[in-house]
Amino acid sequence: MAYSGGEVGEQNLGWTAEDEAGIVAENRRGFVAAVGGGDGFELVTVRQFHSGMVRRVERGDGALSTAEGKAVLRGDGLMTRERGMMLGVQTADCVPVLIADTRTKAVAAFHAGWRGTLARIVERGVGTMRLEFGSKPKDLVAAIGPSIGACCFAVGEEVRSQFESQFGYAGELFSEVFDTDTVREKYPMLFLTARAPGHSNLGPQIHMDLWEANRRQLVDAGLKASAISVVGECSACARLKNGRRKYFSHRAEQGYTGRMLSVIGVVGS
Ligand SMILES: [Zn+2]
């Protein structure tokens, strides 16, 4: 309840500094029970650090999480073929990508902010699924979850140039947006402190489409375009619904926000 002025129902699922661990633990227990339907899922998360590192986990690995449920392993992706494990990635604007193999029943979850996307975490993750589980791309289905859209994701020129150096299709991922907001032009001082670094009222802003970047990696990894679902809702500008919180957004809330969990798993033990 740390992020909505005490409003009940916020459901922060991340171990953030401002929220109480006991409340987060309770939120996570309730979430796993609600999503898992009482099937005794074991929730596994990782200590995310915007890398391309993916971990394969199995039941009985032990020490996947601490007694209070905090992640032990570092990484930005998880995969398993074990039933009863719920793989989760935490986000508040970064892109959660979930993949299921309909034939082998292997599943994977990835955390793809711009750095992880640049590291090709999803494209390489599919390669790892092929190696580890014998997955075939034609059997894979994927979902790209709620996260910051191109509408709100302004980035610096250095981000674009890094993508241009690595991806032939980088030009399709970036757009230049001219800020014509008349209130901003009239009262620039109002907006000086509220804007993220790299923003300027001079010249165009560069906006990046992380959904398309990750969709493209899935296609390049061999998935059928029709097997990829993009939720397509922006965690920043669609953050509130009817005045109540729907998403947590690191950008829109200047870092003072909770975390959402995107999870995938196969029922049964
Ligand atoms: Zn938006």
230 CA to middle of ligand 1, Å? 15
Query: How much is the average pLDDT of 139-149?
Result: 98
- What is the predicted pLDDT for the residue at 186? 60
- What is the predicted pLDDT for the residue at 51? 96
In a domain, residue 216? The reply is yes
d(CA 160, CA 156): 7
Query: How much is the average pLDDT of 92-111?
Result: 98
232 CA to middle of ligand 1, Å? 10
User: By CB neighbour count within 10 A (0-12 exposed, 13-18 middle, 19+ buried), where does 59 fall?
Assistant: middle
| Interior/surface letters 180-201, b for 16+ CB within 10 angstroms, e for the rest | eeeeeeeeeeeeeeeeeeeeee
* pLDDT 10s digits, 170-205: 999 999 998 666 555 565 555 555 555 555 556 789
In a domain, residue 207? The reply is yes
In a domain, residue 226? The reply is yes
103 CA to middle of ligand 1, Å? 36
* pLDDT 10s digits, 231-241: 999 999 999 98
| Structural domains in the chain (count) | 1
138 CA to middle of ligand 1, Å? 32
233 CA to middle of ligand 1, Å? 8
In a domain, residue 79? The reply is yes
| DSSP 8-state symbol, 112 | E
178 CA to middle of ligand 1, Å? 15
- Cβ proximity of 91 and 259 under 8 Å: yes
85 CA to middle of ligand 1, Å? 32
Query: Lowest-confidence range among 76-90, 187-201, 226-240, 242-256?
Result: 187-201
In a domain, residue 65? The reply is yes
Q: 64 or 108: which carries more pLDDT confidence?
A: 108
In a domain, residue 9? The reply is no
User: By CB neighbour count within 10 A (0-12 exposed, 13-18 middle, 19+ buried), where does 261 fall?
Assistant: buried
**CA dihedral sign, ordered 172, 238, 76, 215:** negative
The encoded tokens of residue 85 equal: 């494990």
What is the residue range of 227's domain?
21-265
- What is the predicted pLDDT for the residue at 71? 93
Report the residue count for the chain: 269
Q: Which residue has the tokens 């302004």?
A: 154
CATH of the domain at 162: 3.60.140.10
pTM for the model: 0.89
- Cβ proximity of 148 and 93 under 8 Å: yes
150 CA to middle of ligand 1, Å? 7
- What is the predicted pLDDT for the residue at 194? 52
In a domain, residue 12? The reply is no
Average pLDDT score, the chain:
90
- What is the predicted pLDDT for the residue at 184? 57
* pLDDT 10s digits, 151-171: 999 999 999 999 999 999 999
Q: For helices 121-133 and 210-220, what crossing angle results, to 10°?
A: 30
Question: Which helix (H) or strand (E) is 122 found in, with range?
Answer: helix 121-133
124 CA to middle of ligand 1, Å? 28
Share of the chain above pLDDT 90, in %: 72
In a domain, residue 108? The reply is yes
